């Protein structure tokens, strides 16, 4: 039975251009449909929208996080840059010392490759899931 997934853009992302709000909704919808048992957290961790993998009774871990900028959105993945397969070279290491094992890419354009972005997100999901199996 397919359930209808109703999503809204979190307040933290409302200042982004509309096309990036739509990107957020589409990526979130795809994640919720594709990955079993993930947790949609539209306003967690300093009010950044994120999606988590449940890891046990009271534990979960973020595998993708959406950080709004004025004219773009930074999508951060919980996977080391050295492990990411990224033939378009869109990813870079998150510069913060405590997050050196995170990778990010920035989206500004009105035209983007949704399936390419989902491919990057899938890699992060697999990385986080496999660490705890």
Q: What is the mean pLDDT of residues 45-65?
A: 83
How far is 53 from 58, CA to CA, in rounded Å? 11
How far is 106 from 77, CA to CA, in rounded Å? 11
Tell me, what's the pLDDT at 27? 94
Closest-CA residue to 13 (of 52, 63, 65, 53): 65
Q: What is the pTM of this model?
A: 0.88
For the chain, domains (ranges, CATH) are: 12-131 (3.90.1150.30)
Tell me, what's the pLDDT at 36? 82
CA angle 82, 100, 97 (to 5 degrees): 155
| Element spanning 24, H or E | helix 18-34
Q: What is the mean pLDDT of residues 43-53?
A: 80
| Residue 1 binned pLDDT confidence (cut-offs 50, 70, 90) | very low
| Residue 70 binned pLDDT confidence (cut-offs 50, 70, 90) | confident
């Amino acid at each position: 039975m397919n359930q209808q997934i109703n999503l809204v853009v979190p307040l933290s992302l409302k200042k982004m251009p509309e096309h990036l709000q739509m990107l957020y909704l589409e990526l979130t919808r795809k994640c919720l449909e594709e990955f079993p048992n993930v947790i949609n957290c539209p306003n967690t961790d300093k009010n950044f929208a994120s999606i988590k993998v449940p890891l046990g009774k009271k534990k979960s871990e973020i595998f993708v996080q959406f950080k709004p900028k004025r004219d773009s959105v930074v999508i951060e993945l919980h996977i080391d840059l050295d492990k990411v397969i990224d033939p378009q070279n869109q990813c870079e290491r998150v510069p913060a010392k405590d997050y050196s094992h995170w990778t990010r890419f920035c989206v500004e354009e009105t035209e983007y490759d949704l399936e390419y972005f989902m491919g990057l997100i899938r890699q992060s999901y697999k990385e986080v899931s496999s660490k705890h199996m």
